[in-house]
Amino acid sequence: KAGVTQTPRYLIKTRGQQVTLSCSPISGHRSVSWYQQTPGQGLQFLFEYFSETQRNKGNFPGRFSGRQFSNSRSEMNVSTLELGDSALYLCASSFGSSSGNTIYFGEGSWLTVV
């Protein structure tokens, strides 16, 4: 059974550009969440989607957005990139959205903003 798949794995963008990251959850999983990992702040929650609805959101500016499609695949977008957005962006999926459902992470997308 395939794990959580994230694309692209590595990318370099210029300040001011925008970026879209993609996530395919484990087959059958309907909850997808996104996290940002940086050396300075650690792992921080961005948002969580279940059945195409955003159920929870972290403390990030509106430049960070996401969506989920009917097949549970998800994308996140960061507009007007800043140097501080350089990070590992992690997607995680679980079968359900309720507490107690095991959450599995993908390998992440490494974003460098120059």
Partner 1 sequence: GESVGLHLPTLSVQEGDNSIINCAYSNSASDYFIWYKQESGKGPQFIIDIRSNMDKRQGQRVTVLLNKTVKHLSLQIAATQPGDSAVYFCAENSGGSNYKLTFGKGTLLTVNP
Judged by the rule CB under 8 A, the positions of this chain that interact with partner 1 are 4, 31, 33, 35, 39-45, 48, 50, 55-56, 58, 90, 92, 94, 97-108
If the CB atoms of residues 79 and 97 are measured against partner 1, the closer one turns out to be 97
| Smaller CB separation from partner 1, 39 or 62 | 39
| Range list of β-strands (E), the chain | 5-7, 10-13, 19-24, 31-38, 42-50, 53-57, 64-68, 74-78, 87-94, 104-105, 109-113
By C-beta, is 17 or 64 nearer to partner 1? 64
Minimum CB distance to partner 1, residue 93 (Å): 10
Closest distance to partner 1 from the beta carbon of 45 (Å): 5
**To the nearest whole angstrom, how small is the minimum distance from the Cβ of residue 32 to partner 1?**
10
Residue 86 CB neighbour total at 10 angstroms: 16
* Measured CA distances, 29 to 3, 20, 65, 88 (Å): 10, 21, 21, 22
Rounded to a whole number of angstroms, the minimum distance from the CB of residue 52 to partner 1 is 14
| Phi–psi pair at 13, nearest 5 degrees | -130, 160
